[in-house]
Structure formats: C-alpha cells, structure tokens
A and B are shown apart, each in its own frame.
Chain A
Amino acid sequence: MLLWQTSQTINFAQGEFVMLPAFFVLAAMRFGELSFPAALLIGFVVAVLVLGVLFKQLVVDPILRHGVLPLVISTLGLAILFKEGVKEFYSAEAQGFPGVWPTTNVTIAGAVISAQSLVIIGVAVMAVGVLQYFLHATRTGRQMQATAQNPVLARVLGIPVERMILYTFLVNAALVALASFLVSPIYLAKFTNGELLGLAAFVAAIVGGFNQVRGAIVGGLLLGIVDNLVAAYWSSQYRAAIPLFLLIAVILWRPQGLLGRAEERTV
C-alpha cells in the first residue's frame, strides 16, 4: 500500500517478501553459526537491503517506466523465483523458527492468552504507531506523503522524490521482516508461506481501502476475526472461501474499500 501510494508499485510478491526474511535468519544461524539474536539482526539488515534497495533498483526502476502491468507480471515472476529459490537452496521442508518470546501463557479474566500472542499484538500496535508518527509528525514522513499525493508538485517544492520513494521501499522491507519474524514461530518457515500471507494481505488491503494505511489495518483485523469465527463456529471447510466472499462483496458495493477514498484518474 505504501509502495502503491508513492511509486504506483503493486507487489504480488509481498507474501514471499514475508516468507524470505525468516530464511535469511535461519541461513545465518545454520551457515554462519550465529546466535539467534545476531542472526535476527543480520536477517533484518539483509531483508532491508534485498527487499528494499535491490528490489527497487533492479526490478521496479527499470520496469515501472514501461507501465504498471509489466511490473505486476515481474513481481509475479519474482514471487516464483523466491519460492523456488528457497526450495532449491534451503529446503522444501518446513523449518522450525525460534520464538522471540517463550511459549508461556497468561490468564486474563479466566481466558488463557499466550505471551507470544500478546508480544505479537504489542509489536504490531507499536509498529503501526511508529509508522503513523513517522509519516505524520516528522519532516521526512510528510515529504513521503507529499511524494505519494503528487510527485510532480513535490519535486517542484524541492522534495527529493527519488529518495522518498527509496525510503518507502526500505520501510516496506523493514515491516515485512518484522512480520516474518513474528509469524514464522507459529506457522513455521516454509517456502510456500508467501502464497497464503500474500493473498490475505492483498484481500485485507482491498477490503480496508487500498489508499489508506488505517484501511489496511481494519481490513486485516476484519479478515482475521471473520476467518476465525467462521472456522470455529460454522465450518472450517469453508474458511478459505470467506475472505474471497468478503472481497467480492466489497468490490461490488464499496470498491474503494471500507475506509478508502474514491480516486479519479485520467486514462
């Protein structure tokens, strides 16, 4: 969503972007024989470099000038490359990924909640808060927003548009790395993880509103809650279909998403 706003980049490899950082960490532990915290740090840095800097400079910049559609196809290809690359060079099997927090539980008002889940929620809320603060309360963040809203005018006003776009890619890479480190201890690290995560993220963004960060958050929450309630109280066999029903309903009745705003474009 950030990428779309700043550089009109639709990344269909976003799910694989979440899958990959976990393997950077595992590779650092296995081949570099590093401790988990050191590998986590290395994994984060490599993710930001590969999925941020290299992705922008090697894939987006040369292809975007030919239009959005070639870029969409390129990211689809990139998703396959990442998936098959991990399968070929690391393993086709699921890999255990250490949790950043031990698997202890806390009881709150009679409900058992795992400390791991609380940490995930806490980190996610913090990440969103920091991102919002960065975008709205810092000079760089406002310049990034200006770039997103009107790059031509932003350039006229002296904003270094290219650098702002690069920052957006770096922020995106940092967020996917964070997501990867949080989700992999539960889902296990596997080369196919991106398929599910990518679809869920895409549906959440459309449902919430593709041009609003808070829309994606609402879309993600709604999707997660509906998915789990359907699986627990109705039928787990139909759970995979529910997000797609939600997606169709939103596209039919509110194409800009629940919190998105309608945009006009000259074609």
Chain B
Amino acid sequence: MKANWIAAALITGAATAAHAQQTVFMPIVIEVSGNGAVSGTNFRDGALMAIDEINAKGGILKRKINAPVSDTQSNAAISRAQVQKAIDGDPYVILGPVFSGSVKVNMQLAQQAEVPQIVGAEAAEITQMGNPYVFRTSFGQQMSMPKMAAFVANGMKAKTVAFLWVNNDYGKGGRDVFFKEMAARNIKIVADVSTESGQVDFAADIVKMKASNADVMFIYTNEEECARVLREARKQGVKQPIIGETNVVSQKVIDLAGETAEGAKGHVGLTADAPIPAVQAFTDKFQKRYKYVPDHNGLKGYMGVYAVKYATEKLGKFDRKALAKSLHGMTITPAQEPGILIETTWDDKGDIDRISFLVEVVKGRQKVVEILPKLGK
C-alpha cells in the first residue's frame, strides 16, 4: 500500500516537472482593481492577447507561456507581495506592474532574484537606479516631457501654464521634469495644483486653474481622474486649451469623459489610432476580442511580450541573465518580429526609444496630428 502511495507521488511529481519544462512561467503582476485598474487591465489584456497568439503558434522555443495574473489592487505593498509570490514560482520574466509607485517598491525583489521585469511605469527615476533587470514598455518621463515641453513652447506658443498633477510617484516625477523643461524655455507656471489619486471632486482645483488665466492647462494624472477633470472643466466653462502627456488623451479617458474630451491635445508614446498598418491590425484584433478600444497600455503589454519572445529566440535558450543583458541596447524592428509593431530600442538603462505621436481628440478618437521621430535618430 505504502509503495503505491510513493509511486503515485513520484508519477505526479514527474508529471508536474514535465509540465513545467513544457511551459515558460511569465506571471503578470498588474493593477486589476483600484485606481490603476484602467491602465492595468489594458496592459493585461494586451499581454494575454500576445501570449495566446504565441502559444497558438507553438510558444517560445517550443515552450508555451504560462502567465497567471495577480492583482496588485493598485497598492504598492500588495504589489511587492505579489512579485515575491511570483518570484517563488521561479519565473522567466515578470510582466508589470504599471503604477510607478508599485514598480519602485517591487523592482528590487526582481533585481535580487535576477528576474527581468517588463514594466509599464513611466516615472523617470525607475531606470536611473542602476537596476539592470527593469525594462520599460513606454517612454520614461525624462524622454516624454521634453517632447511635450517643445509642443507647449512651439506648438501652443504658450507663455504661461497651469499644471495639475497627481500626488504620487508618477505625478511628482512628471512634475519635476516638466517644471525643469518649462524653466529652460522661460515659460511660467502660474498654477501648481496638486491632487490626490482617486480624487473625485475637482471643482476647487479647476477654479484655481481658471483663476490663473494661464495660456494652457496641463493635466497630469491617472485616467479616471483625467476624465473627471475634463468633465469639471467643461462644467466650469474653461476656455483655455487642455493638454497633457498620454493619459489625458488616452482612449479610456475619451470614453469616460465623452464629449468633454473633445479638443484635448497631447503627446502619446503609443496610440491605437497610429497611422501604422500593424498598429491598426492590432487595434482591430484587440477590439474584436475584448469589445473595447485599447489605450497605450494595451499596446505596451502586447509589445512587451513580443520583445521577450524575440530576444529569447535570438538567444536560443531560456536564460534570465542573458535575456536582461541582450535587451540592453537591442533594437527590434517589425521586419524581425511583427509583434513589436513599431521599431523599438532599449538603451543600457532599460529606457525605450521609438517614434511617438502628437494627437488631438476629435469625434471621440485620437487623431494623430504629427509623428515625432525617435530621439536617437
């Protein structure tokens, strides 16, 4: 009887080991609920779509991707616990999170375990802390804010700006870079309005912005809050142009804010409405599968998975350290890997460089006004 039990345990163990060898573990640690749910679900859905496509074609190096999703609840402490749990499962890479505050507290864990982490975060300092295992899927603020500042100075011809920002790592990081850029261009910040993550009432904040008589209003907060700001701005009859970096013109904000988003302008690193056939094909596929238009985070999740696939296949083996090393300085073109959609380069810090877009909200969609070249070109 005892021998039977031992045999059963051995068979089960062998089967589990065989399954583990047939799959590659790439957990998604992401904001499925809480204030970051909009960003997180887009990132997750994009990543899962890429994973299903890759698995349908046999996986990476003939191993299918196993990507369970765990929810950080948009909470930095919970994200750290979830990343620890993911590391305990011996992952090849970790996908996510998106919130900068969460990435800042959990990236050391991935670094200590030498697990590459493909994140959606944008706070400038994330890639300036010497972590060789963290890789962005979008511009850091040090890359995007100069583009936005140039747009304020040259495109909008503004002399004064009212700046509304969210008081978290993402907001503070963006504010610091933007203020530096404005000072360099001799543009005055006439209202510096700090708001809270999850805030619902922006009446007083818009009163302050309006009272400043700034040439433009710059909104730098998370998606849901952006939508509430736009609705409040319309309620108060704001006449100044409303601009922002990525979120304020993202598709989710447009959907939530409705007609009040019309005319908002901004810079986006990625857009589902980019006039690029591969991106449009992605958007169609995504919309068909999930019944909503993806925002930039959907693209980030999708391209992040394909970057891992391409780099791994180039290495010819599953080696976390080698993967991290090879991604630094790597350029992936759509000709090499169609899933990357747009030519993308990672520098020695894990920062990304690719073309980007100036957009305006027209009839409920992003309309690309100008394509900005890669910084490295």
Contacts and interface: CB of A to CB of B under 8 A. Distances in A.
Nearest to B32: A92
Interface centre among B33, B38, B228 (most CB of A within 10 A): B33
Interface string A107-150: 10000101011000000000000000000000000000000000
B231 A228 contact: no
Contacts of B208: 232, 236
Contacts of B255: 96
Contacts of B252: 93
Contact of A188 (B34, B194, B224, B237): B224
Contacts of A240: 196
Interface string B185-207: 00000000111101011011101
Interface stretch (A2-10, A56-64, A190-198, A253-261): A190-198
A103 B204 contact: no
Interface in A172-195: 185-188, 190, 192-193
A192 B34 CA distance: 8
A87 B33 contact: yes
Interface stretch (B12-20, B131-139, B256-264, B365-373): B256-264
A227 B258 CA distance: 27
A231 interface: yes
Interface centre among A93, A193, A196 (most CB of B within 10 A): A93
B41 interface: yes
Interface of B is mostly: helix
Interface in B194-245: 194-196, 198, 200-201, 203-205, 207-208, 224, 227-228, 231-232, 234-237
Contacts of B32: 92
Contacts of A35: none
A237 interface: yes
B37 interface: yes
A113 to B, nearest CB: 8
B38 A93 contact: yes
Contact of A236 (B204, B232, B256): B204
Contact of B207 (A91, A93, A114, A232): A232
B236 A92 contact: no
Nearest to B41: A93
Contact of A228 (B204, B227, B228, B257): B204
Nearest to A91: B37
Interface centre among A87, A117, A231 (most CB of B within 10 A): A231
Contact of A103 (B196, B228, B235): B235
Interface in A17-56: none
A103 B224 contact: no
Given A94-B256, A187-B200, 5 more contacts: A95-B256, A190-B224, A196-B200, A231-B204, A231-B205
Interface of A: 87, 91-96, 103, 105, 107, 112, 114, 116-117, 185-188, 190, 192-193, 196, 227-232, 236-237, 239-240
